[in-house]
Amino acid sequence: MGCIDHKNSPTAGNHQSGSDHNPFDVMQPRAPLKTPAERKNGRHVKANDIPPQGVYLPNNNIMAPHMKSPEYVQLSTAAAITLGIMGGRMYGCECTRCLNLLLTYPEGCRANCAYCGLARHREADRDYADRNFIRVDWPAVPMAEIIDIVAGDPEASPFHRMCISMITHPRSEDDTFTVLKQWTDRIDPDAIPVSILSNPTTMTRADVQRTKDLGADIFTVALDAATPEVFDRTRGKGVRSPHKWSKYWEILQDARDIYGPQKFGAHIIVGMGETEFEVLNLVQELVDLGGHSHMFCFFPEQGSLMDHLPATPRDQWRRVQLARYLIDYQGVRVEQMSFDDLGRVTGYGIPQSELSGIIEEGIAFRTSGCPGKFQDDISACDRPYGDSPPSDIASYPFQPKKKDLRKIRRQLEIPVRVE
Ligand code: SF4
């Protein structure tokens, strides 16, 4: 399970950003279609009760087997390739550094978030195990099989981190504890630390404590929306989904108390209708609390309630990506930055020469998330092409090269420095 960067990757396609930014008025989710009674809650999967036989590769042309956590989990295509469970290649890199796991049930996630491929309304046309999520398929694999592979030699594993993603389901907490315990019983968390991507809606403070006691290293909250208005519209009342902004913040505060500085954070999707000023204020708030922000560029996930909407224009995304990196890792404060009357970044609050050096390092434009073994500001969770196609990369899952940096500078509208 070695892992090296491709030395001769094909060149990326042309930049095709839209203009400016995604305003609130445009980013309205569509209404879900009605789900036939026989497909609600994974009823047909449970009624047919087909026993799983090892690894299940998503295939919407056949009935999904009856699989559920904690015996089964789903994992990202990148993690499956890295583990050797699936064949395939990824543009620019041969592996992922994060083993992303997702709890799985025939009933699926009971929430209905508008941007998400796993959302409840999709039960109308797709079994849970067959749903695309952050642009890729998630094969289902017995948890014991994953542990057996990694436990063979954790120190030599390409994975720098493992992450359990919870979903909205009545069994989500208990099964997270079981999966976490199974892992830490066999694999030293110092060799491969564990992150929890939580679902606060069904959680208590005691649940957060339990994950810590069982050996988790970092606790993150998938806040996703940057403002209460965007939150309500995309994952609350607006789409008949159960989530509440206040509950997410309650669990985030619990995570801060229990996990401590630098060991908690929030996921934020950029370009769902918030302004750049609003999202960067949130980044600052998280830093002031002692945490980090992990950012995703909005992409219209196929089959989601926002699949008709534009991806975040690259200029908006690059401005936020760069400013977030300055706030999160370079000690710059949002108050030092300047914004226009639409809330767009017009100044980063540091001298041009310093800014140029940070752009040139390229780390600001890599995927953001929980750290791996290289350095604190390089995420283990590289999510290859989870928020863009390889032809128009939003979050770079590898260190951007010179040609990538030239493209990034054009997207930022900052002149290319002649070496
Ligand atoms: S709770 Fe998470 S997994 Fe469930 S629909 Fe919302 S974003 Fe998707």
What value does the mean pLDDT take over residues 182-207? Answer: 97
pLDDT higher than threshold 70 for residue 419: no
8 pLDDT exceeds 60? no
This prediction's pTM: 0.92
Q: How confident is the model at residue 33 (pLDDT cuts 50, 70, 90)?
A: confident
At 248, list the tokens: 């997410």
Q: What is the pLDDT of residue 356?
A: 94
Is residue 145 helix, strand or coil?
A: helix
Q: Which residue pairs, CB below 8 angstroms and at least 24 apart, start in 401-406?
A: 403/11, 403/12, 404/12, 404/362, 404/365, 405/359, 405/360, 405/362
In this predicted model, what pLDDT tens digit does every residue of 346-404 receive, in sequence order? 999 999 999 999 999 999 999 999 999 899 999 889 898 999 999 999 999 999 999 99
Question: For the purposes of burial, counting CB atoms within 10 Å of the CB of 21, is it exposed (0-12), middle (13-18) or buried (19 or more)?
Answer: buried
Smallest CA-to-CA distance from 196 within 177, 170, 171 is with: 177
Distance between CA 258 and CA 254 in Å, rounded? Answer: 6
Which residue out of 235, 267, 299, 387 has the highest number of ligand 1 atoms within 8 Å of its CB and is therefore the one to mutate?
Answer: 235
Say how far apart CA 326 and CA 72 lie, in whole Å. 40
Tell me the H-state helices in 224-313: 228-235, 245-259, 276-289
CA of 197 relative to ligand 1 center, distance in Å: 11
| Ligand 1 binding pocket includes 358 (Cβ within 6 Å) | no
User: Ligand 1, residues 101, 167, 299: which to mutate, most atoms within 8 A of Cβ?
Assistant: 167
Ligand 1 close to Cβ of residue 306 (< 6 A): no
CA 178/CA 183 separation, integer angstroms: 9
